[in-house]
Amino acid sequence: MAFFDSNILLYLVGSDDRRADHVETLIAAGGTISVQVLNEVAHVARRKMNLPWEDANAILMRFRTIFDVVPLTVEVHANGLRLAERYKLSVYDSMILAAAIQSGCDEVLSEDMHDGLRVDGKLTIRNPFRA
C-alpha cells in the first residue's frame, strides 16, 4: 500500500492537470496519509496558495475521507526522530516515514525525498513522476 506525501497530494489542487491526473490514478489504488501530511497541506494551502480557510478545510476533509489517516503518536514521534538521525532527513519528512512504517505501507510517494531510499528494510521512497 502506498503512503502519500503532501507534495504529491497538492497537485490535486494545483494547476498542473497532467500531474493531477497521474495522482488521481495513484489514489484510485488506495493509500494512507498521516496527520503530519494534513498539517503540511493546510500550511501550503493557507500560506503559499492563499486559500481561504473554508477552501483549505474542504481540501483537508476530502483527504480525510479518501485516505486512511495515521495519527501522530508518541511512538511515531520517537521512531521519526530515530529515522531523522539515522538517514539525515528532516524531522518533518521522518515523521511521515515513521507513520508509513507504523501503518504497514511498503512505499512512500514523494517528489522531494530521496527517491529509491530503502528505510529500515521495510519502506521505499519513490518519486511517482520520475521515469
Residue 57 lies in a domain: yes
Closest CA to 4 of 104, 126, 94, 102: 126
Report which residue type is found at 82. Answer: R
Residue 48, classed as helix, strand or coil, is: helix
Question: Sign of the CA dihedral 94, 36, 104, 9?
Answer: negative
Residue 37 lies in a domain: yes
Paired residues of 88 in beta bridges: none
Residue 52 lies in a domain: yes
Residue 56, classed as helix, strand or coil, is: helix
Question: Domain of 47: which CATH number?
Answer: 3.40.50.1010
Residue 79 lies in a domain: yes
- Residue 91 structural domain: 2-126
How far apart are alpha carbons 55 and 48 in whole angstroms? 13
Task: State the DSSP code for 2.
Answer: E
pLDDT digits (tens, 9 = 90+) for 47-70: 999 999 999 999 999 999 999 999
> Which pairing describes strands 118-119 and 123-126: parallel, antiparallel, or unpaired?
antiparallel
pTM of the predicted structure, to 2 decimals: 0.94
Residue 26, classed as helix, strand or coil, is: helix
The answer to whether residue 92 scores a pLDDT higher than 90 is yes
Q: How many domains does the chain have?
A: 1
Residue 131 lies in a domain: no
CB-CB contact of 76 with 98 (8 Å): yes
> Rounded to the nearest 5°, which phi and psi values hold at 107?
-150, 150
pLDDT digits (tens, 9 = 90+) for 14-43: 878 899 999 999 999 999 999 999 999 999
